């Protein structure tokens, strides 16, 4: 992959770019302290309400509301990292097509498909995944598909045997005579 990047730099091609949208960033940075102040006021209210509760039922209700609001505040705080410094990326596939003209230019690609239980993960879905990967618009000498059936299911094996037989019949009909 580094070879592709080096060739792109040598040819002056741009494979991707990134920028930070300033309008959204400014609004989110102004809104976050206001929201945090509201959360602090809400926590102050919850703490005073369960400290001044008169019955055991109101105490447990106040504590449970405080815990739920604390969890939601934590979720909001962790999501702020994406809003404080958002990053937008853009790819340029035309530049990549210009770099990868021969089959030997493509990097080798290994695809691992893991499955264990044929009742939770239907064998037909696993076969469809493998066939979809094999149908990628990618040089066949550069892509390898591995299926790991940790459960050792006879159903999955039979599904792959049927798929192989189907592919043999389809390639017989697809190739010109």
Within 13 A of 173's CA, how many CA atoms are on the CB side?
Answer: 5
| CA 81/CA 28 separation, integer angstroms | 10
Annotated binding site for UDP-alpha-D-glucose: 120-121, 150
Residue 171: count other Cβ atoms within 10 Å of its Cβ.
9
Annotated binding site: 120-121, 150
Element (H, E) at 129: helix 123-134
- Sign, CA dihedral 136-138-141-146, equals negative
∠ CA 114-111-169 to the nearest 5 degrees? 90
| CA 142/CA 111 separation, integer angstroms | 11
């Amino acid at each position: 992959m580094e070879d592709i990047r080096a060739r792109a730099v040598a040819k002056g091609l741009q494979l991707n770019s990134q920028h930070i949208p300033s309008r959204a960033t400014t609004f989110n940075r102004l809104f976050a302290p206001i929201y945090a102040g509201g959360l602090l006021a809400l926590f102050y209210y919850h703490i005073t309400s369960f400290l001044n509760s008169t019955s055991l039922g109101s105490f447990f209700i106040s504590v449970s509301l405080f815990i739920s609001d604390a969890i939601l505040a934590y979720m909001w705080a962790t999501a702020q990292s994406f809003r404080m410094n958002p990053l937008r990326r853009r790819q340029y596939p035309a530049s990549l097509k210009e770099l990868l003209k021969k089959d030997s230019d493509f990097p080798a690609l290994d695809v691992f498909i893991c499955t264990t239980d044929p009742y939770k993960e239907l064998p037909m879905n696993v076969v469809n995944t493998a066939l979809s990967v094999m149908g990628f618009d990618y040089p066949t000498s550069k892509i390898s598909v591995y299926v790991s059936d940790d459960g050792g299911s006879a159903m999955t094996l039979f599904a792959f045997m049927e798929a192989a037989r189907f592919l043999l019949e389809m390639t017989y009909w697809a190739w010109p005579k």
